């Protein structure tokens, strides 16, 4: 049984209110704007995601990022998991990502996390995204018990939860 209803249609464009930004499913073709965004914020992203995901590695190459984005694109097409890029209006800059994944740990029906580039950290755009994501998940996705990693549960506490067999 899939973690999503068979007839679920995932959103393909989500405006971020009050900004010129939007979310859309990430693609392999976004590597040229994803790689500098990730590596330009790598130290802070490692503090957030490193212990749980081992990402982003200090030695991550452009090619490794391209392969990772291709995997995400295929997972989105198969409704296995979702990675949404946070983009400017022209889609010339990737400014963060939102991950919507099936649960790896007990107690939730989806696990959601997100980040913004260092330049937006703590700013209005991040605060707006922080408000948008839970509302968007509640209204556009079919989850009953979403878990917001690093938000409603710390990454350390999440790692302590039993894994789903």
The DSSP secondary structure of 99-117, one letter per residue, reads EEE--SBTT-SEEEEEEE-
Report yes or no on 9 lying in a domain: no
Domain count, the chain: 1
Helix axes 42-53, 31-40, angle to 10 degrees: 90
CA 120/CA 122 separation, integer angstroms: 6
Q: What is the pTM of this model?
A: 0.96
Report yes or no on 96 lying in a domain: yes
> How do residues 115-141 score in pLDDT, each as one tens digit?
999 999 999 999 999 999 999 999 999
Structural domain span for residue 91: 15-159
CA 98/CA 100 separation, integer angstroms: 7
3-state DSSP of 37-56:
HHHHCHHHHHHHHHHHHCCC
The CATH number of the domain where 85 resides is what? 3.40.630.30
Instruction: For residue 2, name the pLDDT band (cuts at 50, 70, 90).
Output: confident
């Amino acid at each position: 049984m899939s973690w999503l209803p068979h007839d679920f249609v995932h959103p393909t464009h989500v405006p971020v209110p009050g900004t010129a930004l939007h979310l859309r499913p990430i693609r392999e073709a976004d590597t040229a704007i994803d790689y500098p965004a990730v590596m330009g914020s790598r130290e802070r992203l490692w503090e957030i995601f490193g212990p749980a995901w081992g990402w982003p590695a200090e030695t991550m190459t452009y090619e490794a990022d391209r392969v990772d984005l291709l995997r995400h694109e295929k997972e989105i097409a198969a409704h296995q998991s979702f990675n949404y890029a946070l983009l400017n209006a022209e889609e010339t800059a990737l400014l963060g990502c939102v991950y919507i994944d099936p649960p790896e740990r007990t107690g939730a029906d989806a696990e959601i996390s997100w980040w913004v580039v260092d330049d937006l950290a703590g700013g209005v755009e991040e605060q707006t995204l922080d408000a948008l994501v839970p509302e968007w998940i509640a209204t556009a996705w079919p989850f009953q018990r979403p878990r917001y990693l690093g938000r409603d549960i710390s990454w350390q506490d999440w790692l302590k939860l039993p894994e789903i067999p």
